[in-house]
Structure 1
C-alpha cells in the first residue's frame, strides 16, 4: 500500500496478526516498510540493477528512523544509478574479510579513520574517543568483537558520565555499522545498542547574580583560563570556537571565524566589546607571540582539560549545576528580557534556521549580516555582565532600550 509515511504513524502502527504488512512511501520513491507478525520491522528499497529488480534491505526500525531510511534510500539509489551493485560489493567485501580473519580492531579503526573520520571537522576528537573506548580490544580480531563488548563499554562510561556515554554509543554504532558494511563482521554488532541515558532539553538559565559570581571567579584562574571564560561570556560563542581563537582572526573590534571552524561551515563575524578587547590585550601582554592560538599551553593545540577547569570554577564561584553552553543560553535569555530582537540574537549565536517552512521574512534576516545591531547587542551584553559583577563599564557603550 502506498502512503506518506510519518514518524507518528509508524510509532502507532499495530502489529499484523498474521503474515506481514508492507507500506511504500510516497515521499521517497521505492522506500518500503515491512512489518511482520513476529514483530520484525525493516526498511528496504526496490531498484533495477542491470535490468533486474532487486530488493535492498537498508536496516531495522526503530534503530533506523524514517528520516535515516529516506537518506539511506537516496544513497542506495545514487549508487545504483552510478552503475554499482552494492549487494555484490558487500558480498565481495565479506569474502575478502573472511580471508583475513585476523584483521585487528586497531587496523579496522585505522581504516575507518582514513576513509570516514578524515572527512569530518572533528576527526581527531572522534578518533581519540574511539581509541580510548576500544583500548582493551585493540589487539583482538575485529570478527571476534561482539555486541555485548560494545554495550559493556557504553555501560561503563554511563556510570560516571551518562551524557558522554550517549555520545560514545553513537560513535561505536557508526563504526560498527561501517565495519559490517565492509565485511569485517558477520553482523552489525553496533545495531540497537541500549541507550544508557535519556536526555531532555536543558532549561537552566543562569541568573545575573550567578553570572556575576562566575565573572569574578574567573579572575582567580589566571590570564589564560580566566581570559577564556570571560571571552566565552562576552562573545556568547561556542566553547570550541573560543578555545580555537587565533590572533590572526582578530582585526580591531572584530573576530572573524573561518568557515572551516564553524558548526555550519560558513564564516562568522563576532563583534568584540570594549571589555572583550581589554581581556585580549591582557593575554597579549603575557603571550610569547601575537600569532597562532590565543588559548594554548603548548603553542600547537588549544587548551584542554575542561572538566578540571570547570570543577575549579564551580568551587570558586559557588555556582553549580551548569554547563559552559548555558552561557549562550543566558545571553539569549537576558538579551530577550532587555528587548533585543530574536533575529539579532540568533545571528550573534550563529544560529541559522533551516527547512522549507522558514518564512520569506526569516530568510531575508538570515541573509542579512545585521552587523551594527549585533555589535550593539554584544555591547549591551557586556554592560549587563559587568554590572552583574559589580564592575561598571568604563567607556562608551551603546545601551539599547534605555
Structure 2
C-alpha cells in the first residue's frame, strides 16, 4: 500500500514493494500523488517489477502524435485524412500534456471542448486516433503505460441517421437536370448510383475494365471497408453504361473521370437546377438499398451488393416505404 503524505507544502507518494527499491515522487496535489502511486503499483503487479517511468515524464502526447504521423499513418489507405486530423490534434493544448500526467479528465475535457465546435462524429474520430496512438506506444514502442486512458472515457453518441429518400418526381427532375449541365456522364452516374448503391468514391473510381459485360457485374477490387466485392448491374444500369461507352473517348480509362470535390460542386448545381432541397449525394445510396429491400431481397443479399459488413449498420439504410409494404402484408 502506498504512503501519501504532505511534505514541505507538496504531496509525496511513496511505493514500497518486495523485490524493488522504494520509489517516491512529489506532486502539487494529493490526487496526482495517489494517481501516480496507483499506476506504479499496477505496473509492478503487471510486469513483476517497477518500470522506468522517466520517459513518461519527458514525453508529451504531441511527441507520440508526431511519431505516429511519420511511422504509422502513411501505411493506411486513409492516410491523407488522418494526417490532417493529427495536424489539428498537435495544435490542441492536450498535445502538451506529458504521458505521466495524461488523465481521464484531460480526455473528457478534450471531448467536451471539441463537441462545442465540431460534430460528434468528428470528435469520435479524433478520440479514436488518440486511443490508437497510445495503444501503439504501449504495444510497439515500449512505453510503460499501465492503461490507455482514452478507452476509459465515454465517447460521444453519433446520431446521423437520415431518412431522406427521393420523393415524387425528384428522380426524374434530377435526370432532366443532367441534360442541361456540362458533365456528359452525370446522368449515367446518377442512374448507376441509384441502381447499385455504390459509394461516391467507388463510383468515381470505376474503370471500364471493372465491368464484366458477359456477367453484367462490376468488380470492385478495394472498397471503404478494406475488401473487394462484386456488384450486379440491373438492366437499367447496364444499358446506361453501355450507352455512355459509345459516347466516351476510346482512350478513357475511368468511366466517370471526376474527383470527389468536383462531384460535390456539380451535385450542388444540379440540385439548384432541379429545384430540390435537403438531398445529399449519399442519400442515393439510402434510396438504392431501401429499394432493394422493397424488391424482396433479404439482408444478406443486400449486404453482398452494398458492401456493409455489419448488418446493424445496414439497418440504418432500410427506410422502407409504408405504401409499398402494404401490399406485401396482405
List alignment gaps of at least 5 residues for structure 1. Answer: 1-53, 58-84, 356-402
Please give the alpha-carbon distance, in whole angstroms, between the structure 1 residues aligned to 2:292 and 2:283. Answer: 14
**1:167 alignment partner in structure 2:** 125
Please give the alpha-carbon distance, in whole angstroms, between the structure 2 residues aligned to 1:239 and 1:126. Answer: 16
Please tell me the root mean square deviation across aligned C-alpha atoms, in Å: 4.6
Please give the alpha-carbon distance, in whole angstroms, between the structure 2 residues aligned to 1:95 and 1:108. Answer: 21
Deviation at 1:246, TM superposition (A): 2.0
Deviation at 1:209, TM superposition (A): 2.2
**1:216 alignment partner in structure 2:** 176
Q: Is the 8 A contact 1:232 1:242 kept in 2?
A: yes
Please give the alpha-carbon distance, in whole angstroms, between the structure 2 residues aligned to 1:225 and 1:89. Answer: 65
Superposed CA deviations along residues 321-349 of structure 1, whole A, max 9, x for unmatched, are: 34433323322433444x43336544433
Picking from 203, 207, 229, the partner of 1:267 is 229
Is 1:319 the counterpart of 2:319 in the alignment?
no
Please give the alpha-carbon distance, in whole angstroms, between the structure 2 residues aligned to 1:206 and 1:284. Answer: 29
TM-score normalised by L of structure 1 = 0.49
Deviation at 1:199, TM superposition (A): 0.8
| Counterpart mapping for 1:3-402 below 5 A | 87=47, 91=51, 95-96=54-55, 98=57, 103=63, 105-113=65-73, 118=75, 120=76, 122-134=77-89, 136-137=91-92, 143=98, 147=107, 150-151=110-111, 154-155=114-115, 157-158=117-118, 161-179=119-137, 182=141, 183=143, 188=148, 190-191=150-151, 195=155, 198-199=158-159, 201-219=161-179, 220=181, 222-223=183-184, 225-252=186-213, 253-258=216-221, 260-261=222-223, 263=225, 265-271=227-233, 273-279=235-241, 282=244, 285-287=247-249, 289-291=251-253, 293-297=254-258, 302-304=259-261, 307-337=264-294, 339-342=295-298, 344-351=301-308
Please give the alpha-carbon distance, in whole angstroms, between the structure 2 residues aligned to 1:148 and 1:305. Answer: 38
Deviation at 1:113, TM superposition (A): 1.8
Please give the alpha-carbon distance, in whole angstroms, between the structure 2 residues aligned to 1:125 and 1:249. Answer: 26
The 1:99–1:166 alpha-carbon spacing in structure 2 relative to 1, beyond 3 Å, is closer
- Return the index of the structure with the highest Cα Rg: 2
Q: Is the 8 A contact 1:224 1:295 kept in 2?
A: yes
Q: Highest relative contact order (Cα 8 Å, sep 6+), 1 or 2?
A: 2
Deviation at 1:257, TM superposition (A): 1.4
List alignment gaps of at least 5 residues for structure 2. Answer: 1-40, 313-330
Please give the alpha-carbon distance, in whole angstroms, between the structure 1 residues aligned to 2:208 and 2:195. Answer: 17
